[in-house]
Amino acid sequence: DSGVTQTPKHLITATGQRVTLRCSPRSGDLSVYWYQQSLDQGLQFLIQYYNGEERAKGNILERFSAQQFPDLHSELNLSSLELGDSALYFCASSVGGSWSQETQYFGPGTRLLVL
Amino acid sequence: AQTVTQSQPEMSVQEAETVTLSCTYDTSENNYYLFWYKQPPSRQMILVIRQEAYKQQNATENRFSVNFQKAAKSFSLKISDSQLGDTAMYFCAFMKTSGGSNYKLTFGKGTLLTVNP
C-alpha cells in the first residue's frame, strides 16, 4: 500500500457525461501528479499540482481540468467524455519542494469506461 | 524532450533464475533520476528501484539491482532469484531534475515479465 488513495476504483459512464476522480496523497506529500494509462498512448503525464497551485501541464485535453484543495486532496474533472477517454487514471504523490523529493508513489488508479 | 525505450515487449524466466530487463533513454539533460516501476495484474504501480544520474554506484534493493551506464544512456534491471510474484509489467521511467519544477515521469512502453514455476 503506497498510502495514496483514489476513488472510485471503477467508473462506467456514457459519452458526453462528466465525471470527477478523487485523489488523496500520502501524509506529508505536497505534490500531486495525474497520469493516464491507455492501450494506445501508454502512460502519459497530464498535470501536476504543488501545495494547491498548478505546476505543470502535459498532454491534458481542454475538456479535462484538475485542482488541488487546501487539504491537499486533488480532483480530476473529465467532461464531454468520449469513447477514447476510457483508460486507467493514476494519481501519484511526492513530498515535493525540490528535485530530491520528487520520487512519486502511485495510487491504485481509477478505471474509467466510457460507453 | 526525453524518450524512453524498452525494446523487449515480453520476457519469461523460470522461478529462481535471474533475468535482465533492458531500457535505454535519450536526453540532453545531465541531471536526472531513473526508475523502474512494476505493474502486477492488480494494475497498481509499484516503485521498484531508483537511480540518481550523479551517482556512479548502481542502486540495489534486495533481489533487484540496476546496471546504469550513463554514457550509453542505458538502465537495465536485474531480478535475481525470480519469484512468481515478480510476474508483472515493468516500466522504465525518466525524470528530469533540473531547470524548473516539472518533475513529471516519462515512461517506456513496458516489458511484460512472466515467471514460470
Read off the pLDDT band of B99 (50, 70, 90). low
More confident residue, A41 or B94: B94
pLDDT per residue as tens digits for the range A90-106: 999 998 877 677 789 99
Alpha helix stretches (DSSP H) within chain B: none
DSSP letter string, B9-60: SEEEEETT--EEE--EEE-S-SSEEEEEEEE-TT---EEEEEEETT--SPPE
Mean pLDDT score of chain A: 94
Are the Cβ atoms of B95 and A2 closer than 8 angstroms? no
pLDDT-derived band at A50, boundaries 50, 70, 90:
very high
Asked if A33 lies within 8 A of B104 by C-beta distance, the reply is: yes
pLDDT band at B97, cuts 50/70/90? confident
Which residues of chain A lie closer than 8 angstroms to B102, CB-CB? 48, 55-56
pLDDT given at position B100: 66
| CA–CA gap between residue B15 and residue B12 (Å, rounded) | 10
pLDDT, position A2: 86
Categorize the per-residue pLDDT at A59 as very low, low, confident or very high, splitting at 50, 70 and 90. confident
User: What mean pLDDT comes out for the span A22-47?
Assistant: 94
Chain B residues lying within 8 Å of A5, measured CB to CB:
none
